[in-house]
Structure 1
């Protein structure tokens, strides 16, 4: 992870949204015979990326598991789950998500997602038709008697809540940007030899973070405003999460150490 490029959080119906290969507007005519089958490892697909978008209300629970940083020109908040692209240290080779790690809502809503219908000025519920557990005659139907099933209605409610949180996150990022609180940071790892002597530092990532110095320099009334609207707590959760880079490094070493064992098994 060596740049500040953000994953696309939302997009048009062209497979541009992270995890979604073939999103289609959900309809009884097209998908009336489809259903969802139970999945033993429902979040195995997260293994394909090292960062997953977060909403601001997820900062605190996510901070217990990952660094929470901001990427790209739009300062998209993400959970950092790996040190290299396409390698997720929280999903093992068998597709199991670490049992004690937080699962972002962005992943939990899959295979459903909202897309903008600009002509109608509304949001359309879509489904990834390439989701392996969405099949003809699946155990949990998407439609019953031509109407959305309870499964789809629950998904609609979840996506509605997610959309509200996404908009709240955009407002949060705009607030921090307007207050000029962001600065660029580097995640650096210093290897040590067998005697404990430090080697050449290695840069792991560039990212945006809230500057503690800039935060301290804010007028008292601005700090009080951030406290009262809940933003200050989310900022501190983000800052505390940055201690998680050491956890990622430890996980990377553990995975590397286990690979020869797995190969010889």
Structure 2
């Protein structure tokens, strides 16, 4: 379980942090929030949808078809898509809001990426934040600034009736199941906009977001392929574990770096 703590000189002044190379921390995320700046790259490798947050919408990377399962993370922790959402690239850090409304930088102390002797320092000898920490802070500040723009774009799309429920049905072990809570662009409504409304959506940056979402839906079938590949990999893993308990072990399985990839 994650344990995010505010970075302070008192708590982290003599500690170091390590960069992550595996993504097991994201294995339970079926969805990940995206900002507008990310969409042109995210559209190349993953489905993008919208979810409702209160009375507004936000774009998300659709990483799985069932709650608590990220199909883009392999069993060994590798990331299987060509694009990695910003929150994952910033791990083990994230921003949080204090009770006073201030934005502060935090680190997941349960990540296993804190060290007493190796890695990047949090602070310099004079007590100032290290350059790498300042760069991470700037990265998250950029994301937060773009998040505000993203919300305003979504508001314009919503205002013009361009966001509609996205009906998705998947075939599971218990038959067909519906995926609830996702939304998509209404392409027919987009094409029916008046010249004035179309200009308003375009000037807000809404056309880029709309087209990215529509184009990204081609990757939805890849999630089904990945779900099957995960199931087969897990079955193979259980079989090898059973053989190992009985004194039989297929060493070829151990040397296999991966059983599936994120194809287009």
Task: Pick from 4, 25, 34 the counterpart of residue 54 of structure 1.
Answer: 34
TM-score with structure 2 setting the length:
0.81
1:124-160 Cα distance to aligned partner (Å, 9 max, x none): 2222222210232332111111111111011111011
Q: 1:26 maps to which residue?
A: 7
Residue 96 (structure 2) aligns with: 115
User: Residue 91 of structure 1 corresponds to which residue in structure 2?
Assistant: 73
Q: Is the 8 A contact 1:90 1:101 kept in 2?
A: no
Cα-to-partner distance string for 1:211-234 (whole Å, 9 max, x where unaligned): 112212221122123334432022
Whether contact under 8 Å (1:109, 1:155) holds in the other structure is: yes
Q: Does 1:177 align with 2:158?
A: yes
Match of residue 133 from structure 2: 152
Q: Is residue 2:239 matched to residue 1:257?
A: no
Give unmatched runs, 5+ long, in structure 2: 241-264
Using the alignment, how far apart are the partners of 1:229 and 1:172 within structure 2? 6
1: CA distance, partners of 2:157 / 2:124? 46
Alignment check: 8 A CA contact 2:16 2:116 kept: yes
**Quick check: 2:162–2:189 contact (8 Å CA) kept in 1?**
yes
Q: What value does the CA root-mean-square deviation take over the aligned residues?
A: 2.1
Per-residue deviation, 1:164? 0.8
Structure 1: tracts of 5 or more residues without a match? 1-19, 192-199
1-structure distance, mates of 2:17, 2:215: 39
The alpha carbon displacement at 1:96 in A equals: 1.0
- 1:82 is displaced (CA, Å) by 1.1
Counterpart-to-counterpart distance in 1, 2:102 and 2:21: 34
Instruction: Name 1:208's counterpart in structure 2.
Output: 183
Please tell me whether the aligned partners of residues 54 and 104 of structure 1 are also in contact (alpha carbons under 8 angstroms): yes
* TM-score, normalised with respect to structure 1: 0.80
Partners of 1:26 and 1:139 lie apart in 2 by 16
